[in-house]
Amino acid sequence: MEKHITAPITKEIAKSLHAGDYVYITGTLYTARDAAHKRMYEILQEGKELPVDITNQLIYYMGPSPAREGRPIGSAGPTTASRMDKYAPQLLDLGLGGMIGKGKRSKEVLDAIVRNNSVYLAAVGGAGALLSKCITMSEIVAYDDLGTEAIRKLTVENFPVIVVADCQGNNLYETAIKEYAK
Protein backbone atom coordinates (compact mmCIF):
# COMPACT_ATOMS: atom_id res chain seq x y z
CA MET A 1 0.00 0.00 0.00
CA GLU A 2 1.28 3.47 -0.86
CA LYS A 3 1.27 6.05 1.93
CA HIS A 4 2.44 9.62 2.49
CA ILE A 5 3.58 10.59 5.98
CA THR A 6 5.25 13.52 7.67
CA ALA A 7 8.27 13.27 9.98
CA PRO A 8 8.85 13.46 12.93
CA ILE A 9 6.30 10.68 13.34
CA THR A 10 3.75 10.19 16.10
CA LYS A 11 3.11 6.75 17.60
CA GLU A 12 -0.23 6.78 15.75
CA ILE A 13 1.54 7.17 12.40
CA ALA A 14 4.05 4.45 13.31
CA LYS A 15 1.21 2.12 14.28
CA SER A 16 -0.51 2.70 10.94
CA LEU A 17 2.52 1.45 8.98
CA HIS A 18 2.68 -2.19 7.97
CA ALA A 19 5.52 -4.28 6.60
CA GLY A 20 5.45 -4.02 2.80
CA ASP A 21 3.93 -0.51 2.68
CA TYR A 22 5.60 1.86 0.24
CA VAL A 23 5.92 5.17 2.07
CA TYR A 24 6.87 8.70 1.00
CA ILE A 25 8.22 10.84 3.84
CA THR A 26 8.09 14.62 3.94
CA GLY A 27 9.59 16.57 6.83
CA THR A 28 12.68 16.21 8.99
CA LEU A 29 15.16 13.33 9.33
CA TYR A 30 18.34 13.14 11.38
CA THR A 31 21.34 11.26 10.07
CA ALA A 32 23.63 9.22 12.30
CA ARG A 33 25.80 6.20 11.62
CA ASP A 34 28.53 4.23 13.39
CA ALA A 35 30.68 6.95 14.97
CA ALA A 36 27.77 9.24 15.96
CA HIS A 37 25.95 6.32 17.56
CA LYS A 38 29.05 5.37 19.53
CA ARG A 39 29.28 8.93 20.85
CA MET A 40 25.58 9.11 21.72
CA TYR A 41 25.91 5.78 23.54
CA GLU A 42 28.90 7.03 25.53
CA ILE A 43 27.12 10.28 26.42
CA LEU A 44 24.13 8.33 27.73
CA GLN A 45 26.47 6.10 29.75
CA GLU A 46 27.80 9.24 31.41
CA GLY A 47 24.25 10.31 32.24
CA LYS A 48 24.39 13.36 29.95
CA GLU A 49 21.86 14.58 27.39
CA LEU A 50 21.95 13.72 23.69
CA PRO A 51 22.97 16.57 21.34
CA VAL A 52 19.54 16.44 19.66
CA ASP A 53 16.08 15.65 21.01
CA ILE A 54 15.27 12.32 19.35
CA THR A 55 11.66 12.12 20.54
CA ASN A 56 9.49 10.93 17.62
CA GLN A 57 12.34 11.58 15.19
CA LEU A 58 13.44 9.29 12.40
CA ILE A 59 17.16 8.51 12.29
CA TYR A 60 18.48 7.87 8.80
CA TYR A 61 21.58 5.67 8.81
CA MET A 62 23.52 7.56 6.18
CA GLY A 63 26.84 9.27 5.59
CA PRO A 64 26.71 11.38 2.41
CA SER A 65 29.36 12.07 -0.18
CA PRO A 66 30.41 15.77 -0.31
CA ALA A 67 27.95 18.24 -1.81
CA ARG A 68 28.92 20.09 -4.97
CA GLU A 69 28.51 23.87 -4.98
CA GLY A 70 24.88 24.94 -4.92
CA ARG A 71 23.56 21.57 -3.82
CA PRO A 72 22.34 20.61 -0.33
CA ILE A 73 24.06 17.23 -0.26
CA GLY A 74 25.95 14.64 -2.30
CA SER A 75 24.98 11.02 -2.85
CA ALA A 76 22.83 10.00 0.11
CA GLY A 77 21.68 6.37 0.26
CA PRO A 78 21.24 4.15 3.32
CA THR A 79 24.00 2.25 5.07
CA THR A 80 23.72 -1.21 6.65
CA ALA A 81 21.55 -0.89 9.76
CA SER A 82 22.83 -3.91 11.69
CA ARG A 83 25.98 -2.04 12.72
CA MET A 84 23.73 0.21 14.82
CA ASP A 85 21.90 -2.73 16.46
CA LYS A 86 23.99 -2.40 19.61
CA TYR A 87 22.75 1.15 20.14
CA ALA A 88 19.23 1.22 18.65
CA PRO A 89 17.16 -0.43 21.44
CA GLN A 90 18.23 2.17 23.98
CA LEU A 91 17.41 5.05 21.62
CA LEU A 92 14.01 3.51 20.86
CA ASP A 93 13.30 3.19 24.58
CA LEU A 94 14.19 6.88 24.91
CA GLY A 95 11.49 7.83 22.41
CA LEU A 96 13.09 7.58 18.97
CA GLY A 97 10.30 7.39 16.39
CA GLY A 98 11.96 5.02 13.96
CA MET A 99 14.92 4.23 11.76
CA ILE A 100 15.72 4.25 8.06
CA GLY A 101 18.50 2.04 6.74
CA LYS A 102 18.99 -1.17 4.84
CA GLY A 103 19.52 -4.77 5.85
CA LYS A 104 18.63 -7.11 8.67
CA ARG A 105 18.11 -6.11 12.32
CA SER A 106 18.77 -8.08 15.49
CA LYS A 107 16.04 -9.62 17.62
CA GLU A 108 16.75 -7.00 20.30
CA VAL A 109 16.01 -4.18 17.83
CA LEU A 110 12.89 -5.88 16.46
CA ASP A 111 11.62 -6.40 20.02
CA ALA A 112 12.30 -2.74 20.86
CA ILE A 113 10.30 -1.70 17.76
CA VAL A 114 7.29 -3.68 18.97
CA ARG A 115 7.70 -2.51 22.58
CA ASN A 116 7.85 1.16 21.61
CA ASN A 117 5.38 1.23 18.69
CA SER A 118 8.20 2.21 16.38
CA VAL A 119 9.13 1.26 12.83
CA TYR A 120 12.13 0.23 10.71
CA LEU A 121 12.08 1.50 7.15
CA ALA A 122 14.39 0.55 4.27
CA ALA A 123 15.54 2.94 1.60
CA VAL A 124 16.91 1.35 -1.56
CA GLY A 125 20.58 0.59 -1.06
CA GLY A 126 22.81 1.98 -3.77
CA ALA A 127 20.32 4.59 -4.94
CA GLY A 128 22.21 7.49 -3.37
CA ALA A 129 21.99 9.81 -6.37
CA LEU A 130 18.24 9.33 -6.73
CA LEU A 131 17.59 9.70 -2.99
CA SER A 132 19.68 12.88 -2.81
CA LYS A 133 17.09 14.51 -5.07
CA CYS A 134 14.49 14.18 -2.28
CA ILE A 135 16.68 16.09 0.19
CA THR A 136 16.13 19.82 0.00
CA MET A 137 18.20 20.95 2.98
CA SER A 138 21.04 19.57 5.07
CA GLU A 139 22.64 21.08 8.14
CA ILE A 140 25.21 19.61 10.51
CA VAL A 141 23.79 19.81 14.03
CA ALA A 142 26.33 17.79 16.04
CA TYR A 143 29.75 16.13 15.89
CA ASP A 144 31.02 18.28 13.04
CA ASP A 145 34.48 16.72 13.43
CA LEU A 146 33.15 13.36 12.27
CA GLY A 147 32.87 14.59 8.68
CA THR A 148 30.51 12.33 6.75
CA GLU A 149 29.55 10.69 10.06
CA ALA A 150 28.35 13.93 11.69
CA ILE A 151 24.71 14.25 12.78
CA ARG A 152 22.80 16.12 10.09
CA LYS A 153 19.30 17.53 10.10
CA LEU A 154 17.74 16.88 6.70
CA THR A 155 14.61 18.32 5.16
CA VAL A 156 13.08 15.78 2.79
CA GLU A 157 10.24 15.75 0.30
CA ASN A 158 8.58 12.53 -0.75
CA PHE A 159 11.55 10.49 0.37
CA PRO A 160 10.76 6.89 -0.70
CA VAL A 161 11.06 4.01 1.79
CA ILE A 162 9.56 0.57 2.34
CA VAL A 163 8.34 -0.63 5.72
CA VAL A 164 10.44 -3.65 6.70
CA ALA A 165 9.69 -4.14 10.41
CA ASP A 166 6.47 -2.84 11.94
CA CYS A 167 5.24 -2.66 15.54
CA GLN A 168 3.10 -5.77 15.05
CA GLY A 169 6.30 -7.76 14.75
CA ASN A 170 6.17 -8.35 10.98
CA ASN A 171 9.46 -8.48 9.10
CA LEU A 172 9.32 -8.08 5.33
CA TYR A 173 12.82 -9.49 4.83
CA GLU A 174 11.64 -12.82 6.24
CA THR A 175 8.26 -13.02 4.54
CA ALA A 176 9.16 -11.68 1.07
CA ILE A 177 12.08 -14.05 0.55
CA LYS A 178 9.81 -17.07 1.20
CA GLU A 179 7.42 -15.97 -1.48
CA TYR A 180 10.07 -16.16 -4.21
CA ALA A 181 12.27 -19.01 -2.92
CA LYS A 182 12.29 -21.93 -5.34
Partner 1 sequence: MRTINVNEITKNVKEMCIEANYYLSPDMNKAMKCAALEEESPLGKQILDQLGQNLKIAAEDMIPICQDTGMAVIFLEVGQEVHLEGGLLEDAVNEGVREGYVEGYLRKSVVNDPIIRENTKDNAPAVIHMKLVAGDKVKIKVAPKGFGSENMSRVFMLKPAQGIDGVKEAVLTAVLDAGPNACPPMVVGVGIGGTFEKCALMAKEALTREVGTHSQIPYVKELEEELLSKINGLGIGPGGLGGTMTALAVSINTYPTHIAGLPVGVNICCHVNRHVIREI
Shortest distance, position 12 Cβ to partner 1, whole Å: 26
Which entry of 5, 21, 30, 37 is annotated as an active-site residue? 37
Mark the segment that binds partner 1 (CB under 8 A) among 9-17, 43-51, 85-93, 143-151: 143-151
> How many residues would you count in the chain?
182
Looking at the DSSP assignment, which residues form a beta bridge with residue 98?
58, 119
Burial of 109 from C-beta contacts in 10 A (0-12 / 13-18 / 19+)? buried
Distances (CA, A) of 31 to 13, 50, 51, 59, 139: 20, 14, 13, 5, 10
**Complex with partner 1: residue 93 or 174, whichever CB lies closer:** 174
Interaction mask 99-138, partner 1, x per CB under 8 A: ---xxx-----------------x-xxxxxxx-xx-----
- Tell me, yes or no, if 37 is annotated catalytic: yes
- When asked if residue 8 is in the footprint of partner 1 (CB under 8 A), the reply is no
- When asked if residue 147 is in the footprint of partner 1 (CB under 8 A), the reply is yes
For the chain, the maximum distance between any two Cα atoms, rounded to a whole number of angstroms, is: 51
Burial string for 161-176 (b: 16+ CB within 10 Å, else e) reads bbbbbbbeebbbeeee
Return phi, psi of residue 89, to 5°. -55, -40
Site for partner 1 in 65-94 (CB under 8 A): 65-68, 74-77, 79-80, 82
Q: Report how far residue 179's alpha carbon sits from residue 168's, in angstroms, rounded to the nearest whole number.
A: 20
Interaction mask 20-49, partner 1, x per CB under 8 A: x-x------------x--------------
Active-site positions?
37
Where do contacts with partner 1 occur on this chain (CB under 8 A)?
Answer: 20, 22, 35, 62-68, 74-77, 79-80, 82, 102-104, 122, 124-130, 132-133, 146-148, 160, 162, 164, 172-173, 175-182
